[in-house]
Chains A and B, each alone.
Chain A
Amino acid sequence: MRTIENDDDLRAALTQMDVTDQRHVAALFVEDVLEYTHDSRLRHALSVVIRADASEAELKAAHRTARAAALDAHARCGADSDWSDQSPYFVARAAEAATGKNAKGTSSTLAWLVAMQCRMATCCLASETDQESEENTCSAQRRIAAEFINSRKDNGHE
């Protein structure tokens, strides 16, 4: 059984995945923090990503949906804003990244970018004295990625 102990391992594991698997894992990362938003559009967008037979057109539509959700949730320039209310925005940004193009020629993979956005969603909610929340999200991401890799092995995908 594969286990992922730290972020270096997580990043390395994500880098080795093809883009379809990265999307799938990324969608699972977002699902893990989906409770931070009430935007039902995001659940629908993620369900498309997780489906192995999703067409390019469906993915594109899911991406548009997630992007619209992110724009609806952003903090408007000059508006009275609260950092602790920004979680839904970062969840939507994570979904947008999960349904978007893979980053090419850069040091970051799609799934890693999504992982970071999800952690930022948790970061908004963590108070100065409660810094465990973000660590919980990190641990969950390592577990999700390891379980995904193990399930792929079990199904004969190496």
Chain B
Amino acid sequence: MSSASIEKGIRMIREQIDAPIASFFSSCVHCGMCADACHFYVQTGDPRYTPINKVEPMRRIWEQEYTLWGRIKATLGLSRKVNAQDFEAWEELVYDGCSLCGRCSLVCPVGNDISDMIRKIREGFAVAGHAPEGLVGATRRAVEIGSPMGVRLSALEAQIRHLKHDTGLDAPLDQAGADYLVLLSSMEIMNFPEYLEAIARIMQQAGKTWTISSRAFEATNSGVQIGVSDIAAELVQRVVDAAEELGVKTVISPECGHAYTAIRFEGPNLIGRPYNFRVQHILEVLEEFRQQGLLKTKGKETDRMTFHDPCQLVRKGGVIEAPRNLLGMVTDSFVEMRDHAEMNWCCGGGGGVSANERADELKSKAFNQKKSQLDELGVDTLVTACANCRITLEEGLERNDMDIPVIGLTEMLADHLVEEPGKGGET
């Protein structure tokens, strides 16, 4: 990379250092608790993966430019400025070795949001041209095509036709005034189309109107993952424009962890104004339906099953009880993992890691944390609510010769809905 690119990267990192970031650096007590909370560190034993170390270039810029002692040290040549070699060395730590799961932030005794700091240092790395190829490609496709995986509207339309043909259910496109605007992730369209059918069934039983926007059906936000706020804002704006044009009351984020935090929490800050609609994760919507008595289920699963909490949903969104209440409707054989809810361990594939082929071996090592959780539980089925977690878990289980099917919660719930004669083409 040219020195101009590195300078841009340094400038961008400097711009990210706001009051919270500065206070985080000055309050870090070097206790190491974040290390023990990180699956990348725990499973590799490599101190470079200590979460706070992943933002060391940012800390040095902060110290050298915003603290008296740091300035003196820099003037006297006692500290080295961040350079191209640092970007080279830290790129892998910032992207491959962090799934932005937020577990480090949760355990930090002084409340440092280390995960957010890593999210912010990525802004500098992306500008400097030090982002993984996989994420760069995904981001380019998200901007140009509207999907990080290059999924076009015609693919979604084909699934809608399939849905109508085989079940009689409809997935309405561009219906103004609907209660809900449903977003989908490309992973669901490509790998788990059962999700769309599940939504159609649930909405029909709940008696709610819903729609998908042909202009903005994609939920995932590669801009957030790679760390380019301008792109992240553009992707959020597309959804906001669609939601406002259609006049929906609520936008539903699908079973995709980071898509949820991108649209729900980062979104208004990225576009610089509040929304005039609500944003909920699909599990939050289902929980509301359950509380209102709108979901009627029959039968119970007999397999012993547990729930993998998607990090963004549980740690950023605090959605803990909803999945457990919903699981209670369809199983009496639910067991918790030792570390669950807000302390759950990440699958290892979040935060853009799955889109980064270079990180495969490290992701595989990090999965061993999840493996150890599952080994001690001995379950027949693993349920989750994130398409990326689902594939990452399936891959990890397969590599480790573990015969445990992974199921999406929305899909499982829909499978247990009481079918009403004359509805949905089924009797």
Contact = CB atoms under 8 A, between A and B. Distances in A.
Given A79-B355, A123-B159, A124-B158, 8 more contacts: A8-B426, A11-B426, A77-B349, A81-B190, A83-B152, A106-B415, A107-B419, A116-B166
A40 to B, nearest CB: 19
Interface stretch (A16-24, A30-38, A48-56, A127-135): A127-135
B389 to A, nearest CB: 10
A114 to B, nearest CB: 13
A119 B161 CA distance: 11
Interface string A119-150: 11001101010010011001000000000000
A68 B166 contact: no
Contacts of A151: none
19 contacts: A60-B403, A67-B394, A74-B191, A75-B187, A77-B355, A78-B137, A79-B134, A81-B150, A81-B151, A86-B190, A100-B405, A105-B299, A106-B299, A107-B419, A116-B166, A123-B159, A126-B158, A134-B161, A135-B165
B190 A134 contact: no
Contacts of A120: 162, 193
B158 A7 contact: no
Contact of B352 (A60, A78, A106, A128): A78
Contacts of A106: 299, 301, 415-416
A67 B394 CA distance: 9
A104 B302 contact: yes
Contacts of B64: none
Contacts of B302: 104-105
Contact of B138 (A64, A78, A86, A134): A78
Contact of B300 (A63, A105, A124): A105
A19 to B, nearest CB: 14
Contacts of B105: none
B154 interface: yes
A75 B191 contact: yes
Q: Shortest 7 CB-CB distances between A and B: which pairs?
A: A78-B355, A105-B299, A83-B155, A78-B138, A77-B354, A75-B190, A106-B415
A80 interface: yes
Interface in B147-189: 148-152, 154-155, 157-159, 161-162, 165-166, 186-187, 189
B294 interface: no
Contacts of B403: 60, 63-64
A78 B135 contact: yes
A79 B166 contact: no
Count chain A CB atoms within 10 A of each CB in B135, B191, B395 and give the residue with the most: B191
B422 to A, nearest CB: 11
B141 interface: yes
A82 B330 CA distance: 35
B385 to A, nearest CB: 16
Nearest to B425: A7
A77 B166 contact: no
B398 interface: yes
B398 A71 contact: yes
Given A74-B391, A78-B135, A83-B154, A104 B355 contact: no
Count chain B CB atoms within 10 A of each CB in A63, A64, A75 and give the residue with the most: A75
